[in-house]
Amino acid sequence: MVYLLGDVVIYPHYDFLHVKTGTSMRLTCLQTNTKEVSAGFHFSWYRHDLHRFNELTKLVGNHRMRIKSTPEASVLQLFNTTTDDTGVYRCTLDDDTFDFTVVVIDDTRRKD
């Protein structure tokens, strides 16, 4: 299932995700307006760090994060998640934005 926001399709179709520590997650935005694709618009990813007073940071790939973008789509993959990855992830395509709230749950704690 997908979620349509303006000219951007969002997958997963919900905007609140629970992820366990040590797992991977994938967020996808798809461009649906063929006129804008040909015009060369591009995607960007940001993250609101909930632990640092909602600081908004532009994301770039690193050893645990991969961002692959084409004019038609952008995928953010995060590997080996930690609780520090909890935050609001924002996909933008020029004037369109969509926020994913991601909560990473510590799966290593003992359950009594």
Q: What is the pLDDT of residues 14-73, one digit of tens each?
A: 667 888 899 888 888 877 765 555 566 678 999 886 666 566 788 887 889 999 988 788
Given this model, what pLDDT does residue 12 score?
Answer: 52
Superfamily of domain 3-105: Immunoglobulins (2.60.40.10)
Q: Which of 16-20, 67-71, 78-82, 101-105 has the highest mean pLDDT?
A: 78-82
> Which residue type sits at 108?
T
DSSP assigned state of 62? -
| Sole residue written with tokens 């990813």 | 45
Q: Where are the domains of the chain?
A: 3-105
Q: Is 6 left (phi over 0), alpha (psi -120 to 50) or beta?
A: left
Residue 80 pLDDT > 90: yes
